[in-house]
Structure 1
Amino acid sequence: MSDFPHDIDLDAFWDRATHCKINQAPASAAMIAELQAELGYRLPLSYVAFMNRYNGGRPHLCCCPTEQGTSWAEDHCAIDSFLSIGRDAAYSLGGSLGSRFKIEKWGYPDLGVYICNCPSAGHDMVALDYRECGPEGEPRVVHVDQERDYAVTVLAPNFEAFIRALVSPEVYDTSEQDYLDDLDKVASAPFSALLEELLEQFHEVPDLGPLIRQIALRIVHEKRYFALHADPLSQLLYDLQFWLYRNCYPVNDEESYLQVYCDMIAFAKGFGTGGYAPDFIRDWFRARLAGGQMRQAADGLVLTPAYRAQLLEQLSGFRPLSPDSQEQP
């Protein structure tokens, strides 16, 4: 068996802290032959040699540049782990969640052998693509994007070139600029049409719009990005959105509220988080019902007067915060 090029430090390539959870013993020649017959493709010698050192695992160098956007980023895709060559582990080429599973159960195109999982938990994959070279030839390495109707993006002309193309995620680290952009967004981006409408009809809290921005600014300062989770400030914004919406429209149950929730902040084009996890809203909703802060009234669910008074007390603790301030409010 040929060696992988010596100028690539395979010991440094792998994340040794986690690879042992995925890594398998090197595949025998008999196992490789069996898998090739089962999959219908000859595995490239460079790939076999590469996997002979560490048979599966997570790499430190896990980003591959692309000339077109993917569901992960506009200029690269990311790899979570390499499937091992074998069939005992679920995430191995012949395992229960291996290459054929992706094709037969998840609808991925039958273009070759799927060799890498991505961080999306199955919504994109990296594969050896044999469509041009045939099952005995030297395959290209491609990214297959389920989120974009299984779009195929060529990553490298062969496996060795693919490994040489991989770079550290630090190359694409935009967290500082993202932080500054989110500060600017929550300080000045327009509210959604629905949120504006609700604020115009709400008179119980003067200047609630600016107060919502102050809460969001504090979230961005603490998290370094704008997102709502299960923390107290997120819970406060959940409360305020419900209070605003309920002031204008009835809320009969959890699911009907979830259908309108996303139009206030979650999917707003300006002041918005760019998405949300429904389970956070469900947990908040159920906790408010169980805790007695929300109750059933004649015309639907409402926050109790005592809890509205508690929210007013919370809001009194906020003061103006400029978007370029690093001070915690």
Structure 2
Amino acid sequence: MEQKLIDQLNEWHESDEQQRIIDFLLTISDEEQDYDSISLLARAYTNMGLYEEALYHFDKISEAGKQDSLWHYRVGFALYYLKRYEESAQAFSRADQLDPGDQYTEYFLTRSSQKAEKQKREKLRLSKKKASMAHGESVNGKVLFSDMFLANFWEESEYARESYQSELPTDELIDSIEKELGYKLPSSYIDLMKQRNGGVPNNTNFPTKDPTSWAEDHIAITGIMGIGRKKSYSLCGDLGSQFMIDEWGYPDIGVVICDCPSAGHDVVMLDYRACGIDGEPEVVHVDQEDDYEITFLADNFEEFIKGLVNDEEYDTSEEDKEEALDKVAHGKFSPLLEELCSRVTGVDQVEQKIRTICTQICEEKGNFSFQADELSYLMYDVQFWLYTKSYPDTSRDQYVAAYPKIIAFGGEFGQGGYAPSFITDWLDIRKKEGRIIQDHGIIRFTDSYSAEVINKLQIA
């Protein structure tokens, strides 16, 4: 494929015109197709979330791609989002062998390997559970919570009463809710709701063996939904189980039983996959932020309730903040950030200015992370200004690939990770605002916004 045409396709890619790329490349005859055209077509399908179609086209050039790290990376990426984690890890491993040290490859290799192991454990666990039920074993049966346990279980607050707590359920209401949901509710859950029908417990954390978007070793809940329809956070309320499945896309594996502090981005569910609609469900965490990843929590509702622990068990906020402040004050800059800062003229002590802004971020958040707040956006601006000042012929793809090497994975002065969507969202917003302009695939700040960023740095 001619370089001029490749440049045009990359420009459409930068503008996120993926369908335009697909439509054009599909007009090319089989005889005219080559490695570049098929690779770019597969990339466009990947960017549209059509991963099976992408793999179909990647497979066409698999022989030619054997020694191409980018081919293996893109195949691994598509497999990852199809949740074929073992194959994904193999592809990223090969990409890493061909091009060692790429931070994106290393990140996805680690993640896919972790998820592959978790997937194997989950498959084995579900298989054992189904086998035990097939042999007539059951954990079903009414379990009473003692008065002593319940005495300190619920939090007394106006918010809990207004948002969660309903009148105690009648047998008729329970029957109608079960019919509406399509699942028999666990006896231990019904027993708890007959003591208080929904609310906020004093203990809101549950330990996990696997990391989630909330934390490395636990999840948190906001409240437990009651049996009813009137309260927003009740099983059949306007923010209840079916709403989360229908509107938020949660998997139809059972009943959403708890909401979480992320305001919809993760939930706790009763999981009926192994037991069937009339059996005793397991309790799982479902993480929308990680493509609806399911993490096993407890064999049954009683075990989940009795396993909840207090916030104090995981409160390391002061230690985390001190560690973050020390990192931004004394951590060595990454080689790329050192290089970019060394080329700056017109801003005195730019290194110290960066440390000052990052110190403010740590003071406000208690950790060293960039998200979608004002100070984070300033640091996105600063990094982009630094990079494009030294590398003026930068495309969107090139910058997105370079970004983690500046601070995100910067070593001592680094965050150890980041959410790529924050960067791409920031780029889209600055472009929409007219502060980033694009010319023949090259992106840069306008002169006026560059001056604004410089001014903000000078007064930091």
- Judging changes above 3 Å, is the alpha-carbon distance between structure 1 residues 123 and 97 closer, same or farther for their aligned structure 2 residues? same
- Judging changes above 3 Å, is the alpha-carbon distance between structure 1 residues 132 and 5 closer, same or farther for their aligned structure 2 residues? farther
- Contact 2:385/2:445 (CA < 8 Å) preserved in 1? no
Q: Select 1:204's aligned residue among 346, 351, 361.
A: 346
Distance 2:293 2:425 in 1: 31
Which secondary structure state, in structure 1, belongs to the residue aligned with residue 368 of structure 2?
coil
Distance 1:220 1:134 in 2: 47
Q: Select 1:175's aligned residue among 296, 317, 321.
A: 317
Distance 2:401 2:447 in 1: 16
> Quick one: which amino acid aligns to residue 226 of structure 2?
S
- Which structure is higher in helix share? 2
Identity, in percent, stands at: 43
CA drift at 1:96:
3.5
CA drift at 1:242:
5.6
Which secondary structure state, in structure 2, belongs to the residue aligned with residue 13 of structure 1?
coil
- Judging changes above 3 Å, is the alpha-carbon distance between structure 1 residues 275 and 105 closer, same or farther for their aligned structure 2 residues? same
Which secondary structure state, in structure 1, belongs to the residue aligned with residue 447 of structure 2?
strand
TM-score, normalised to structure 1, is 0.73
Match for residue 54 of structure 1? 196
> Quick one: which amino acid aligns to residue 86 of structure 1?
G
Which secondary structure state, in structure 2, belongs to the residue aligned with residue 155 of structure 1?
strand
CA drift at 1:122:
2.6
Q: Select 2:447's aligned residue among 282, 302, 305.
A: 302
Match for residue 216 of structure 2? 74
Name whichever of 140-149 and 169-178 sits farther off: 140-149
Unmatched segments (≥5 aa) in structure 2: 1-141, 438-443
Distance 1:109 1:242 in 2: 38
- Contact 1:86/1:95 (CA < 8 Å) preserved in 2? yes
- Judging changes above 3 Å, is the alpha-carbon distance between structure 1 residues 125 and 205 closer, same or farther for their aligned structure 2 residues? same
Q: Select 1:14's aligned residue among 139, 145, 155.
A: 155
Q: Select 2:308's aligned residue among 135, 158, 166.
A: 166
Which secondary structure state, in structure 2, belongs to the residue aligned with residue 160 of structure 1?
helix
Q: Is residue 136 from structure 1 mapped to residue 278 from structure 2 by the alignment? A: yes
CA drift at 1:249:
5.5
CA drift at 1:30:
1.5
Q: Give RMSD over aligned pairs.
A: 4.2
CA drift at 1:115:
0.6
Distance 1:305 1:122 in 2: 37
- Contact 1:130/1:138 (CA < 8 Å) preserved in 2? yes
Distance 1:309 1:40 in 2: 60
- Judging changes above 3 Å, is the alpha-carbon distance between structure 1 residues 33 and 241 closer, same or farther for their aligned structure 2 residues? same
Q: Select 1:85's aligned residue among 185, 206, 227.
A: 227
CA drift at 1:167:
0.5
Which secondary structure state, in structure 1, belongs to the residue aligned with residue 149 of structure 2?
coil
- Contact 1:251/1:301 (CA < 8 Å) preserved in 2? no
- Per-residue CA deviations over 1:261-291 (Å, capped at 9, x if unaligned) read 9557673443345547679969x969x99xx
- Judging changes above 3 Å, is the alpha-carbon distance between structure 1 residues 238 and 171 closer, same or farther for their aligned structure 2 residues? same
- Per-residue CA deviations over 1:58-114 (Å, capped at 9, x if unaligned) read 222110112222222222111122222112334321234322333344443333222
Greater relative contact order (Cα < 8 A, sep 6+) = 1
- Per-residue CA deviations over 1:33-54 (Å, capped at 9, x if unaligned) read 0111122222122211212333
- Per-residue CA deviations over 1:214-235 (Å, capped at 9, x if unaligned) read 443354356533345766x767
> Quick one: which amino acid aligns to residue 139 of structure 1?
P
Unmatched segments (≥5 aa) in structure 1: 316-329
> Quick one: which amino acid aligns to residue 314 of structure 2?
Y
Which secondary structure state, in structure 2, belongs to the residue aligned with residue 9 of structure 1?
helix
CA drift at 1:168:
0.7
Match for residue 314 of structure 1? 459
- Judging changes above 3 Å, is the alpha-carbon distance between structure 1 residues 153 and 2 closer, same or farther for their aligned structure 2 residues? closer
Match for residue 65 of structure 1? 207
Q: Select 1:213's aligned residue among 355, 364, 374.
A: 355
CA drift at 1:127:
1.6
Match for residue 245 of structure 2? 103
TM-score, normalised to structure 2, is 0.55
User: Equivalent residues in 2 for 1:172-251 (5 A)?
Assistant: 172-192=314-334, 195-221=337-363, 223-227=365-369, 237=379, 240-241=382-383, 243-245=385-387, 247-248=389-390
- Contact 2:347/2:454 (CA < 8 Å) preserved in 1? no
Which secondary structure state, in structure 1, belongs to the residue aligned with residue 176 of structure 2?
helix
Match for residue 34 of structure 1? 176
Distance 1:133 1:309 in 2: 61
